[in-house]
A and B are shown apart, each in its own frame.
Chain A
Amino acid sequence: MKRFIMALFITVLVVGIFLGSCGEPEETTTAPTTAPTSAPTSAPTSAPTSAPTSAPTSAPTSAPTVTPQYGGVLRMITPMDPTVLGYPAESAGRATYYQYAILERMIIYAPDVWQNQNYQGILATSYTFENDMKTWTFQLREGVKFHDGTDWNASAAKWNFELRKEAGNSTTFNSMESCNILGPHTVQINFSSPANTFEVELATGIYFISPTSFENAGTTQEERIDWARGHPVGTGPFKFVEAILGDHVTYERFDDYWAGKPYLEGVEFIIVPDATTSKNMMIAGEADAYIYSEFKETLELEAMDGFYARYCKHHTPEGIWPAALEPDSHMYDKKVREAIEYAIDREAIIAAISLGSPEVEIMYQAPIPGDPAYRPDFGRHYDLNKAKQLMREAGLENGFETTIYVRSITGRWADMALFVQAMLAEIKITVNIEMINPGQYMTYLLFGWPADTLFISGIPNEPISNFVAARDYACSPAGVPKWNYSTVQTPEMCALWNELKAATSPEATRAAYVALSHQAMDDAVGIYMMDWPDTAVFADYVKDCDWIAYSTKVWNANTTWMAPH
């Protein structure tokens, strides 16, 4: 028996030692040293000729003295699975970033979009609109190929627009009347009503796929759509290889990319749901980037040598929204909504939950500084006396009971809810905290919240804010669903909203947007709390990625390269 035990111990030891000796970090990439023969043009050079006129800038960040190197597979950790990859009519939700390197849009936001509301051309080199924004004409980029070798041209564009219309899930495309080919690389699209959000949509959600691959993918349309969902064939710098749900998604370099051969040999997304694990993988050198990183782990990694972090601001402001739709509810009274806002001490809450990071900024209104609707002096700052006063005026000095809904996707919202609970107790409002899952959240968001409640949420934002305002402050006619972020529908707001929807020029759109935004602030539709940045962490040797440089919806996969490491 003694010998048996010894044998066991020895086995364990030997296995341990063996594992130890073969445990060197895996060889990851080979960095070829051959200098690139021609540096690819990192951004489209021709400017859109229409309304937004400012010329697109070239690659916004890069150290000009270092020569980019070819080679290597960029391994990026991400917590999310891709949902839909190659059927543009269905949104991939938050996981859209999987599509960036494969599929392309006609235009994207320019790097300075938050300040100047500019776009830059990708698959379109220029475009014009006329006829009250009902007719749009696009000049397409020439020499662009899909991954299957077919050409990007007017008929491919037309086919894609028609595919979107056929899907029937877009208001804009539902009103598309016709699409005409005016030349091999010129396409015109006609809407029955002013399409004043079309530019935003083009820059965010309208991807173009190869008609040939799609049409060859099956006998019925259903089969083809199904195939496309898992097989994106676009014009981007990388070609799709495979997606294993819950594990990884891989891309390989597209050598014929129109803007030049990309530096990276490939991209591998590693799906890791746990933040601590992700951080450890970064430290252990098992990945080169960690995107959509958790805030705490981002700060921790940034503080270490060898990593840098990117913070994408303004993309998802977070706030608290009152359900004020029912006329007999307390929240219907603007005084009550204002009282709640005055009772909440944003500075205290954010100091407590931002982990000391200066990247989290307090917000008092929806527009960010620089936005045309931004009002520098506006803001209902913490003032308990004023809050009590307003409650008295509303006849509610004895308070009332309410529920705050918190989605359980992030711990900070639960913390926030506890603060709100304590703060509102000061004005005698009793707050019950209820945790809800994503499905339940979607249901409430679409079909409305229980009367007189509050909920905490991030509010998806866009640099071209009229799009967001039209969504958030919608005064939809009865029967037309809306996203119930804001539930306040004062007559003034509805009038301005209708004006915004009917605007037929960029100038009119902007004016209506500014007026509507100001009205929403005056009407206390919601309590913006903070600008919580989306984050990503990179190893120092990852260069020119421009991840989240101006919007989470863009990263320059073709300019990204890795220094030897």
Chain B
Amino acid sequence: MVTYIIRRLIQAVFILLILTFIVFGAVRLLPGDPLLMFLNATDIEALSPEALDQARHELGLDRNLVVQYGIWLGDILQGDWGKSLHFKNANVLQMIGQRMPVTIHLGVLAFFFSSVIGITLGVIAAVRRGRWADTVATLLANTAITIPIFWLGIIMMLVFSVELEWLPVAGYTPINEDFWLSTRKLIMPVICLMIGSLGAVARLTRTSMLEVIRQDYIRTAWSKGLRERAIVIKHALKNSLIPVITVMGLQVRFIFGGAVLVEKVFAIPGMGRLMVEAVDGSDYPVIQGAVLVIGIIVVLTNLIVDISYGWFDPRVRYE
């Protein structure tokens, strides 16, 4: 197990190197000279070509791509993630340090609730197969998958914030500042972010659960005199979650993707918006740093997913 994890981590390092290098090259192929955004000068005549070249040189943008990448990598390893070209006094590591917890807060809640509610719905639908609870749960799951989240966000905002005034329209408050305000602000964003995953998880759980409750060992469990709840939770659930875990691992990626939209709609200062704004403004150091961090998170969650298989299914061996 330990060797397995070590090997996976070494693999992860290579994946991250390749990922960041590709992004490094790709952003430089994007049209738009970051230098102009950087200098942000209105008085263009004062910017002689020499001054431009000088600035370009200082930022290292005139070097060979591989050399630039090497320098970037070296700096990263020494803890210097560079500075934003756009927000000139903003240190990239600090920016990410500010934004990442926000997206993680949002993402963890979305992941947690999409998993818990999705699995619950799926289990209810499977156990009550063909009854009204199944119909309702399946309908909810299918709606959840197909609902456009932008639209959902706007509708919820109109209903719960503008009309009923139950929830704040938008914004973010850190959890340690004011727990209730923070939670109330996050309810709608989390619903938007989790809704698709919830549907997918619910549907998959239902299918997988239906498969599991037909198994012989469930009959054995019944013959032991166990209650339905014990059978569903102890005997069926763990088995039926094995395929669901894979999908939940993928959800981490979808959550980062969804965060782009949700953070914009609900004015949440997270990674999604940071990334989009950085790409728009050709803010190379920010793009690089964000890609690295998101890459690390995705790689780690994959690893966690793979390891958690072992917990769910003792037949899995790590070699």
Partner of B162, one of A81, A90, A280, A443: A280
Partner of A439, one of B49, B127, B167, B280: B280
A-B contact count (CB 8 A): 173
Query: Number of contacting residues on B, CB 8 A?
Result: 65
Given A1-B229, A229-B89, A481-B45, is A19 in contact with B166 using a C-beta cutoff of 8 Å? yes
Contact indicator A83/B269 (Cβ below 8 Å): no
List, in ascending order, chain A residues with CB within 8 A of B44's CB: 446, 481-483
Within 8 Å of chain B (Cβ to Cβ): is A436?
yes
Within 8 Å of chain A (Cβ to Cβ): is B170?
yes
Within 8 Å of chain B (Cβ to Cβ): is A170?
yes
For chain A residues 1-17, which have a beta carbon within 8 Å of chain B? 1, 4-5, 8
Interface 1/0s, chain A 222-260, versus B by CB < 8 A?
000011011000000000000011110000000000000
Contact indicator A83/B40 (Cβ below 8 Å): yes
Interface 1/0s, chain B 45-62, versus A by CB < 8 A?
111110110000000000
Within 8 Å of chain A (Cβ to Cβ): is B99?
yes
| Complex: A247 Cα to B172 Cα, angstroms | 8
Contact indicator B273/A246 (Cβ below 8 Å): yes
| Complex: A91 Cα to B41 Cα, angstroms | 6
For chain B residues 27-47, which have a beta carbon within 8 Å of chain A? 30-34, 36-37, 39-47
Within 8 Å of chain A (Cβ to Cβ): is B133?
yes
Contact indicator B162/A284 (Cβ below 8 Å): yes
List, in ascending order, chain B residues with CB within 8 A of A169's CB: 39, 41, 43, 46-47, 51
Within 8 Å of chain B (Cβ to Cβ): is A273?
yes
Q: Report the minimum CB–CB distance from B91 to chain A (whole Å).
A: 9
Within 8 Å of chain A (Cβ to Cβ): is B165?
yes
List, in ascending order, chain B residues with CB within 8 A of A438's CB: 32, 37, 280-281
Partner of A205, one of B42, B90, B264: B42
Within 8 Å of chain B (Cβ to Cβ): is A123?
no
List, in ascending order, chain B residues with CB within 8 A of A244's CB: 98, 269
Q: Report the minimum CB–CB distance from B195 to chain A (whole Å).
A: 15
List, in ascending order, chain A residues with CB within 8 A of B194's CB: none
Closest to B279 in A: A437
List, in ascending order, chain B residues with CB within 8 A of A437's CB: 30-32, 280, 282
| Complex: A20 Cα to B187 Cα, angstroms | 12
Residues in A lying within 8 Å of B, measured CB to CB? 1, 4-5, 8, 19-20, 22-26, 81, 83-84, 90-93, 168-172, 174, 205, 226-227, 229-230, 244-247, 270-274, 276-277, 280-281, 283-284, 286, 436-443, 446-447, 474, 476, 479-483
Most buried by A among B32, B120, B281: B32
Q: Report the minimum CB–CB distance from A9 to chain B (whole Å).
A: 10
Contact indicator B165/A246 (Cβ below 8 Å): no
Contact indicator B40/A168 (Cβ below 8 Å): no
Q: Report the minimum CB–CB distance from A285 to chain B (whole Å).
A: 8
Contact indicator A1/B31 (Cβ below 8 Å): no
Say which one of B14-22, B153-161, B244-252 lies at the interface with A. Answer: B153-161
Contact indicator A442/B32 (Cβ below 8 Å): yes
Within 8 Å of chain A (Cβ to Cβ): is B101?
no
Contact indicator B229/A4 (Cβ below 8 Å): yes
Contact indicator A24/B120 (Cβ below 8 Å): no
List, in ascending order, chain A residues with CB within 8 A of B161's CB: 280, 284
Closest to B154 in A: A276
| Complex: A247 Cα to B101 Cα, angstroms | 14
Q: Report the minimum CB–CB distance from B246 to chain A (whole Å).
A: 25
Within 8 Å of chain A (Cβ to Cβ): is B95?
yes
Partner of A273, one of B30, B32, B264: B264
Q: Report the minimum CB–CB distance from B56 to chain A (whole Å).
A: 13
List, in ascending order, chain B residues with CB within 8 A of A4's CB: 229
Partner of B164, one of A8, A23, A170: A23
Contact indicator A271/B267 (Cβ below 8 Å): yes
Most buried by A among B95, B98, B164, B171: B171
Contact indicator B37/A270 (Cβ below 8 Å): no
Contact indicator A5/B124 (Cβ below 8 Å): yes
List, in ascending order, chain A residues with CB within 8 A of B222's CB: none
Contact indicator A442/B37 (Cβ below 8 Å): yes
List, in ascending order, chain B residues with CB within 8 A of A92's CB: 40
| Complex: A270 Cα to B168 Cα, angstroms | 13
List, in ascending order, chain A residues with CB within 8 A of B164's CB: 20, 23
Within 8 Å of chain A (Cβ to Cβ): is B235?
no
Within 8 Å of chain A (Cβ to Cβ): is B75?
no
| Complex: A99 Cα to B260 Cα, angstroms | 29
Closest to B49 in A: A479
Contact indicator A23/B184 (Cβ below 8 Å): yes
Within 8 Å of chain A (Cβ to Cβ): is B318?
no
Contact indicator B99/A246 (Cβ below 8 Å): yes
**5 A-B contact pairs sorted by A residue (CB < 8 Å):** A5-B133, A20-B166, A205-B42, A226-B88, A284-B162
Closest to A477 in B: B45
List, in ascending order, chain B residues with CB within 8 A of A20's CB: 164, 166
Within 8 Å of chain A (Cβ to Cβ): is B265?
yes
Q: Report the minimum CB–CB distance from A219 to chain B (whole Å).
A: 16
Interface 1/0s, chain B 159-187, versus A by CB < 8 A?
00110111111111000000011001001
Within 8 Å of chain A (Cβ to Cβ): is B241?
no
List, in ascending order, chain A residues with CB within 8 A of B202's CB: none
| Complex: A25 Cα to B166 Cα, angstroms | 8
Q: Report the minimum CB–CB distance from B210 to chain A (whole Å).
A: 15
Within 8 Å of chain A (Cβ to Cβ): is B86?
yes
Partner of B48, one of A273, A284, A441, A480: A480
Within 8 Å of chain A (Cβ to Cβ): is B87?
yes
